[in-house]
Amino acid sequence: MDKQYDVIIVGAGPTGMTAAIYTGRARLKTLLIERMTPGGQIATTSTVENYPGFTQGIEGPDLSEAMETQTKRFGAEMLSSEVHGVSLDGLDRVVHTDDGDVTARALIVTSGAEHARLGVPGELEYMGKGVSNCAVCDAAFFVDSPVAVVGGGDAALDEGLFLTRYASKVTLIHRRDQLRAGKILQERAFAEPKMEFQWDTVVERINGNGVVSSLSLKNAKTGAPSSLEVEGVFIYIGLTPNSNFLQGLLPMDNAGHILVNAWMETAVPGIFAAGDIRQQAARQVVSAAGDGATAALAVRRYLQELRAKAGE
């Protein structure tokens, strides 16, 4: 690994990989840093049906892999490491990783978001022992077993429907009496005989003895307690932006989304933020790809301006 790049991109989800395809094709020396396997949220998603060009949809891991291959084809270097801070040194943006510091004139933050936690007893204790945020990864452990999905948005329904291929029953637990998910997913979920719904219900505790065995529930309106026997619980209650490593450097909203303009420029020259990490993102693969392209084009223009000022 070199130490000096034209552009460093933090996070190899759809946004970061699209940005790297564009900066690679612009012949900018590009480093893409990822702490896990490339793909971001789509690496653990079942079928993506709304990304144009795939008439029958495409499995999330397959789309991730195709994007990674395309990213490498145009010359972006990939570093498997976690970024834990960024500092400024004149016009250089210094990125602090687990594997040392790397520097570039431009930085694109595409660190996306991760699943929010319920914050109830048993959740962390049984993570990987029945508690999961990834139906694609873990559904096969629950063949003919009852499972629950917590949440009421697209991700909860999409992954709940995926789980019906394996589980004996999928109970969707939602704190409200209506779903937020898109209508087509709602229609499919209501028509699926293996899906059941517990409305106005919150999870109070995840119980087990080594592995998950049941959930302690409460009716959000009446306060009435109940319990549900399940072997797995899949939590899809929203996302938390991965922006802690930039606290104090970039202006953010209260939730931790980075503020940008239409060209994905942050308040700090030479630092751009795109995709799910930015404020008011549409949080879709297609908009993530669009954001990545926009940020890369803005970086190219920024570097051209720097070179023109330096008389290069």
By annotation, the residues acting in catalysis are 134, 137-138
- In whole angstroms, give the CA distance from residue 109 to residue 259: 12
How far is residue 281 from each of residues 1, 41, 112, measured CA to CA in Å? 32, 15, 10
Mark 287-306 with x for binding to ligand FAD (rule: CB under 6 A) and - for no binding.
-x------------------
CA-CA distance, 213 to 168, in Å (whole number)? 15
What is the chain's Cα-based Rg?
21
| Secondary structure percentages of the chain, helix, strand, coil, to 5 | 30, 30, 40
Q: How many residues bind ligand FAD (CB under 6 A)?
A: 36
Figure out which of the listed residues 121, 186, 284, 290 binds ligand FAD, where binding follows CB under 6 A.
Answer: 284
- C-alpha to C-alpha distance for 207 and 133, rounded to whole angstroms: 17
Q: Is 270 in the site for ligand FAD (CB under 6 A)?
A: no
Residues 19-48 that bind ligand FAD (CB under 6 A): 33-36, 40-42, 45, 48
Which string of x and - marks every residue 105-124 that binds ligand FAD (by CB under 6 A)? Answer: -----xxxx-----------
Q: Residues 5, 13, 151, 214: which binds ligand FAD (CB under 6 A)?
A: 13
Question: Toward ligand FAD, which CB reaches closer, 63 or 208?
Answer: 63
CB 152, CB 179: distance < 8 Å = yes
Which range of residues in 120-128, 251-259, 284-292, 296-304 is near ligand FAD by CB under 6 A? 284-292
Contacts (CB under 6 A) with ligand FAD, residues 186-245: 242, 245
CB of 120 to ligand FAD, least distance (A): 20
Q: Does residue number 285 form part of the binding site for ligand FAD (CB under 6 A)?
A: yes
Q: Could you give the string, one character per residue 67-86, with x where binding to ligand FAD holds by CB under 6 A and - elsewhere? A: ---------------xx---
Task: Report if residue 14 touches ligand FAD, rule: CB under 6 A.
Answer: yes
Q: With CA atoms as reference, report the closest residue to 156 among 145, 142, 172, 132.
A: 172
Q: Which is nearer to ligand FAD, 148 or 285 (CB)?
A: 285
Among 16, 24, 153, 270, binds ligand FAD (CB under 6 A): 16
Q: Is position 263 an interface residue for ligand FAD (rule: CB under 6 A)?
A: no
Give the strand pairing for 4-10 and 212-219: unpaired
**Residue entry with tokens 């970024």:** 83
Q: Which two tokens stand for residue 246?
A: 């930039």
Residues 6+ apart with CB under 8 A from 205: 120, 121, 122, 215, 216
**Least distance CB 273 / ligand FAD (angstroms):** 10
The span from the first CA to the last CA of the chain, in angstroms, equals 26
Which stretch in 12-20, 67-75, 211-219, 258-266 sits in contact with ligand FAD by CB under 6 A? 12-20
> Can you tell me which of 24, 122, 160, 275 binds ligand FAD, judged by CB under 6 A?
275
Q: Which amino acid is at 232?
A: G
In the chain, count of helices (H) and strands (E)?
6, 19
Q: Which of residues 155-174 bind ligand FAD (CB under 6 A)?
A: 155, 158-159
Burial label for 3, CB within 10 Å (0-12, 13-18, 19+), is exposed
8 A C-beta contact, residue 14 and residue 285: yes
Residue ranges in contact with ligand FAD by CB under 6 A: 10-16, 33-36, 40-42, 45, 48, 50-51, 82-83, 110-113, 155, 158-159, 242, 245, 275-276, 283-286, 288
